[in-house]
A and B are shown apart, each in its own frame.
Chain A
Amino acid sequence: MRALTWHGKHDVRVDTVDDPEILNPRDAIIKITSTAICGSDLHLYDGYIPTMQAGDILGHEFMGEVVEVGAKSTLQKGQRVVVPFTIACGSCYHCGKHQYSACDNGLPADNQDIGQEMYGQPMSGLFGYSHLTGGYAGGQAEYVRVPFSDVGPIIIPDGVEDEKVLFLSDILPTGWMAAENADIEPGDTVAVWGCGPVGLFAVQSAFLMGAERVIAIDHFPHRLELAKKFGAETINFEETATYEALLQMTGGIGPDAVIDAVGLEAHGFFVDNVIDQIKASTFLGTDRIHSIRQAIIACRKGGRVSMPAVYGGFVDKFPLGAFMEKGLTLKTGQTHVQHYMPALLNAIMENKIDTTFLISHTLGLEDAPQGYKMFHDNQNEVTKVVLKPGLALAAE
């Protein structure tokens, strides 16, 4: 089959590799119809994530048709499914509590050493996201092997196009969980850093959960436009002093809840960010955290901090004093995708949530390297790239 493979920083290629096979009783093989490039794939593209190996197949947002099933899979050939990016067994203690991204059994036993060393306990597996998360082949390919196919994939009714449901795999539940983690109360003002897909879905979700005002912060005018369409007020941090603006816009109080949907690669030439970049490049601290710092300082006293943004390692100059003195609450974590999928599919079917607005480009799988470059180089206009293995090569 053909598959998008990682070969190094800014080097991804479409290679011919062996087709996946059923290896365990609960496996299924999915023929990919649509798969997206995620903002967090750019972290791999930029070489920020350790334990990548040349030839690794990327992609954790995908859907398709069931073409083969193991003896214990509950799926049937021909069904259309969206696959959650978290690989969870459904039978351990954490899965029982719907903490799917904390699944005990999603990672191969030997892969669990890295997570145990770094984080104290290993987490669930993820598709196409380094050997720290299992080394599972991703879905930016013609076919993918899906473990635990009896508990992960959600079946999509006929007649619903891929574009409406593809984002159930990651970014829609991630944006929803970000808003849920902000414990929004009616009348609240919520500030969201980052108007990428997760931030934009968090804006929509926050309103659905009763927020009176949502303030969206970014520097890409097109992304701020999209946030505005969903009713958010906007701050362009290149034009405006964000903290001062947030305080004035909230009558000097600060937002009741703040959501950091930026994470690892915070842009912008702030002094602390430049220091972070120097430290990142010299391995003194791996994560650049301007957005979470600013979110904590801006948040009102006793407010809530939600952090869907991906961080992998250690940070410096985390405003722990402000966090403690103001009595803030922080909730975060990889998304428990399986928990949110059914309700969010219903919300899509009832037209309460729109996801199709995000897709700015649709390409064939063979054009995937170009898709990565476009997404990386022009995040203002390229909001989401969807790859369709069935699509013929784009006209030259």
Chain B
Amino acid sequence: MGDGLDAADDAPLATSKHEFAAAEAVAGTLPGAKGATLTSRAVTINRPSADLFAYWRDFSNLPSFMDNVERIDVISSTRSHWVVKAPAGKTVEWDAVITEEVEGELIAWSSQEGADVPNSGRIEFRDAGARGTVVIVTILYDPPAGFIGKVVAKMFQREPAIQARGDLRRFKQLMETGEIATASRTRAQLEAEQN
């Protein structure tokens, strides 16, 4: 069977059927890589890449569309402290450091020692002409409390891969429409939905 990546094609690594080998290969491209589980996702957003980069780079903006992020404390231009909701009303925390940055194009990060959920990754903003910008998020992480934790987290919609999917959709909505779609009818329903 080999490592499974011998007959590599042009497809994104995270779509490989050989997930461990793919995660290893991605880790090799990330400075200070943390985590052995790989997820990635692409979304096209009808806005210029500079706008999207600028909004994302200000980490204090992220909780506005990242549902599971309770708060992000910006410590310095490259360091931030993340407090993230976990199953059963708990939270997990880590410090993240920007490991690579290309203005308007790319931000890479890695969690620091002592992280509850070790993780690293990058977000890329690729100009897509008339269609706007293709945003690609790649995340390596260690599921909270191993495999069982991942299953439990999944049940509570707190699994990082699921969260990334929803977060990217909300980011797109916010950037394209100026708001995040909700089917709630009343403020009380909306608040219940957000918690």
Asked if A110 lies at the interface with its beta carbon under 8 angstroms from chain B, I say: yes
A22's closest neighbor in chain B, by CB? B187
Give the number of chain B interface residues (Cβ < 8 Å): 26
Q: Is B25 an interface residue (CB 8 A)?
A: no
Asked if A312 is at the interface (CB within 8 A of a chain B CB), the reply is no
Q: Does B103 count as interface, using CB distance less than 8 angstroms?
A: no
| A60: B residues at CB distance < 8 A | none
CB of A79 within 8 Å of the partner chain? no
B127 vs chain A, min Cβ distance (A): 15
Identify which of B131, B181, B186 contacts A93 (C-beta below 8 A): B131
Pick the interface stretch among B72-80, B107-115, B148-156, B166-174: B166-174
Where the two chains meet, the residues of A that have a C-beta atom closer than 8 Å to any C-beta of B are 17-21, 23-26, 72, 89-93, 96, 104-113, 125, 134-137, 145, 147-148
| Residue B28 lies at the interface, judged by CB distance under 8 Å to chain A | no
Among A26, A105, A148, residue most surrounded by chain B Cβ atoms (within 10 Å): A105
Contacts of A104 in B (CB 8 A): 172, 176
Are B180 and A26 in contact, CB atoms less than 8 angstroms apart?
no
Give the complex CA separation of A20 and B182 in angstroms.
12
| B190 interfacial contact with A, CB 8 Å | yes
Please state if A108 and B181 are interface contacts (CB–CB under 8 Å).
Answer: yes
Task: Identify which of B46, B181, B186, B188 contacts A107 (C-beta below 8 A).
Answer: B181
Cβ 8 A contact of B177, one of A105, A134, A137 = A105
| Cα distance, A265 to B51, chains bound together (Å) | 48
Residue numbers in A under 8 Å from B167 (CB-CB): 109
Determine the chain B residues whose CB is within 8 A of the CB of A20 once the complex forms: 185-186
Determine the chain B residues whose CB is within 8 A of the CB of A19 once the complex forms. 186
Residue B12 is within 8 A (CB to CB) of chain A in the complex = no
B166: A residues at CB distance < 8 A = 109-110
In the complex the two chains form, is B44's CB within 8 Å of A109's CB?
A: no
Chain A contact residues, majority secondary structure: loop
A105-B65 Cα distance, complex, nearest whole Å: 14
CA gap between A89 and B166 in the complex, in Å: 18
Which residues on B sit within 8 Å (CB–CB) of A112?
169
Q: Does the CB pair A145–B185 fall under 8 Å?
A: yes
Name the 4 nearest CB pairs between A and B, nearest first. A109-B169, A24-B179, A135-B183, A89-B177
User: B46, A106: Cβ atoms under 8 Å?
Assistant: no
Closest residue to A122 on the B side, CB-wise?
Answer: B169
Are the CB atoms of B176 and A91 closer together than 8 Å?
Answer: yes
Contacts of A134 in B (CB 8 A): 181, 183
Q: Is the CB of A109 within 8 A of B183?
A: no
- A-B pairs with beta carbons under 8 Å apart, 6 shown: A18-B185, A24-B179, A24-B180, A108-B182, A109-B173, A125-B181
Report whether B176 and A92 are in contact in the complex, using a CB–CB cutoff of 8 Å. yes
Q: How far is the CA of A89 from the CA of B170 in the complex (A)?
A: 13
B110 to chain A, nearest CB (A): 27
Bound CA span A91–B131, Å: 11
Whether B184 is near chain A, meaning CB under 8 Å from some CB there, is: yes
Docked pose: A105 CA to B123 CA in angstroms: 21
Residue of B nearest to A70 (CB): B179
